[in-house]
Structure 1
Amino acid sequence: MEIKKYTILEHQHEERLDKVVASLHKEWSRSQVQQWIKDGNVLVNNRQSKANYKCTTGDDITIQVPEKDELIVSPERMDLDIAYEDDDVIVINKPKGMVVHPAAGHSSGTLANGLKAHCGELSDLNGPLRPGIVHRIDKDTSGLLMAAKNNEAHQQLVGQLVDKTVTRKYCALVHGRVPHDDGTVDAPIGRDPEHRQRMAVVDNGKKAVTHFHVLERFQDYTLLECTLETGRTHQIRVHMQYIGFPLVGDPTYGPKKTLQLEGQALHAGLLGFQHPRTEEYLEFRAPLPAYFTTLLASLRKND
């Protein structure tokens, strides 16, 4: 890993850290630099900072540049479940257990590797480790997500996410009997101050809103349809745990004693958005995967 050092000049005073660092090398994209900052590869006066940190004249910046081979997503042929595809966008039904893009411990076998092999050209706005990736779903969450084949489509789709015009509905099996047929959780989410690998409802977190509707009740469990208004990391998992109904099988936010399941019972079953070129509204559905339907059948039988 190459280490570069830089001192903030007077004309860069009050500029954002990510903007300054990205300007130092023509091959460094701003989104790539933002990931480095998030990963702790960019230090200000030997301390980790945030991308929006306002630089001060004389600040010492240390940049740990990952090796080139760390920045490449190799194409890997996979049997992708494609719900829709054209020259601008592709919609994939991701299986449970698949990571969306390379990260620590997952350098291959990710959806990004499969997309590289299938599509060839993808947008690069999110940097080289996330080709085409517009939004993510967790490794053990199954279901629909969209990817962009070019930067114009990517920017348009991200704009829809920001404007909250993308429809995203999930099926979630939670512990306990939810008493209300419908509800909304409006609680900000950020890093858990005591467990940095987890998210939590915190006062200084980002706004997060989840709507839920009861689909079916069992003796000790409830099947919900959750609609995302925002898209924070682990949002449904955190919100359901916050109101006392954690997801079945959730190894991070759920109880240790749960149904036999590897990872949370959560499925992104509906995705709707405006096509980035034609502006036509498109909506896709993915049926519950076999593990989920088997689980529900077992609960119905026991009830």
Structure 2
Amino acid sequence: MTKQSVLVEEQFHTTRLDKLLTTLNPEESRSQIQSWIKDGLVQVNGKKAKTNYRCQQGDFIEWEIPEEEVFELKPESMDLDIRYEDEHLLVVNKPKGMVVHPAAGHSDGTLVNGLIAHTELSDINGDFRPGIVHRLDKDTSGLMVVAKTNDAHEKLATMLRERNVKRQYQAIVHGEIEHELGTIEAPISRDPSDRKRMAVVDHGKEAITHFRVHERFPNYTHVVCDLETGRTHQIRVHFKYIGFPIVGDPKYGQRKTLDTEGQALHARRLEFNHPITSEKIIVTADAPAIFKETLKEIDRRP
């Protein structure tokens, strides 16, 4: 690690600690700085401090910059659940608990590690996200389309941007939704109070989720959702916003929830015209066993 320090001058008196360090480390994001503070890598006058600490003139601040994790993307043989494949693209059913591509803390065992062992992929998104046109969260299972060629990748990205790819999900939420059908139209952006979360925010990016009730249970509802837009954590944020958070969601859900190994959310259907041949492609995948077991469990409850 690289250690740095500074003596707080008058101009930074009463400045928040995370804001000051972001100013002094312009190459780092504020959320990254906040993680350093939470991890105990920052000390003020020899003691740990909180991110919202107001610096005082004369404070001595020391911080350690973690060395960036260096890793090599290596092919890993995996038993991938590929639902459609040709020379241009493939559709894979990603299991719950699998990270899509390598990043800090997840250098191997990702979907991309398995995909590059299986086939050649487009290189538009760089060395560590080859072929990835859209993503699913680690604990969201289901269907993803992956590009093998740059031509297919560019056209798929345009199709997604222009909303010409139909993506359908199913989820289990807390509470009983009264309406059979609904549309949640609420803009989404980074949560101003926590940059690691998304939230409904004025002047955020347009976000639209359509849903219908598939089945009701006491205190729970099984819903089917159609994405009109595809913002980060969109379904999770939208259902929290309307008061029906997704079961098992560690980031946006209730503290007291069912143990579903992460959010009960599954990408069940993809429909699009093939970017090269224009053939209609429709792919479906059943929800994983833990999703079905959760439905059985809540159905047995009085």
Relative to the length of structure 2, the TM-score reads 0.77
CA distance in 2, matches of 1:106, 1:204: 33
Q: Is the 8 A contact 1:73 1:116 kept in 2?
A: no
Q: Is the 8 A contact 2:247 2:257 kept in 1?
A: yes
CA distance in 2, matches of 1:73, 1:148: 18
Gaps of 5+ in 2: 2-21, 30-66
1:79-124 Cα offsets, whole Å, 9 max, x none, are 00010111000100011000000112111000000000001x2111
Query: SS state of the match for residue 273, structure 1?
Result: strand
- State the partner residue of 1:222: 221
Residues 88-107 of structure 1: pairs in structure 2 closer than 5 A: 88-107=88-107
- State the partner residue of 2:78: 78
Q: Please tell me the residue identity of whatever aligns with 2:279.
A: E
CA distance in 1, matches of 2:24, 2:149: 37
Residues 1-303 of structure 1: pairs in structure 2 closer than 5 A: 47=26, 70=71, 72-119=72-119, 121-303=120-302
CA distance in 1, matches of 2:76, 2:83: 19
Q: CA deviation at 1:290?
A: 0.8
Q: CA deviation at 1:288?
A: 1.6
CA distance in 1, matches of 2:69, 2:295: 46
Gaps of 5+ in 1: 2-42, 51-65
1:214-272 Cα offsets, whole Å, 9 max, x none, are 00000000000011011111000000000000000000000110112210000000011
Query: SS state of the match for residue 195, structure 2?
Result: coil
CA distance in 2, matches of 1:45, 1:258: 41
Q: CA deviation at 1:68?
A: 11
Q: Please tell me the residue identity of whatever aligns with 1:145.
A: M
Q: CA deviation at 1:47?
A: 2.7
1:133-156 Cα offsets, whole Å, 9 max, x none, are 010000000000010001000001
CA distance in 2, matches of 1:263, 1:152: 35
Q: Please tell me the residue identity of whatever aligns with 1:74.
A: K
CA distance in 2, matches of 1:163, 1:131: 22
Query: SS state of the match for residue 191, structure 1?
Result: strand
CA distance in 2, matches of 1:68, 1:215: 44
Percent of matched pairs sharing the same residue: 59
Q: CA deviation at 1:299?
A: 1.6
Q: CA deviation at 1:276?
A: 1.6
In the superposition, relative to structure 1, how do residues 69 and 48 fare at CA in structure 2: closer, same or farther (>3 Å)? closer
Q: CA deviation at 1:204?
A: 2.5
1:180-217 Cα offsets, whole Å, 9 max, x none, are 11111111111101011100011121111100100000
Q: Is the 8 A contact 2:69 2:104 kept in 1?
A: no
Q: CA deviation at 1:44?
A: 10
Q: Is the 8 A contact 1:174 1:246 kept in 2?
A: yes
1:2-54 Cα offsets, whole Å, 9 max, x none, are xxxxxxxxxxxxxxxxxxxxxxxxxxxxxxxxxxxxxxxxx99963599xxxx
Query: SS state of the match for residue 229, structure 2?
Result: coil
Q: Is the 8 A contact 1:183 1:213 kept in 2?
A: yes
Query: SS state of the match for residue 135, structure 2?
Result: coil
Larger Rg: 2
Q: Is the 8 A contact 1:170 1:225 kept in 2?
A: yes
Q: Is the 8 A contact 2:271 2:280 kept in 1?
A: yes
Q: Please tell me the residue identity of whatever aligns with 2:80.
A: L
CA distance in 2, matches of 1:144, 1:162: 18
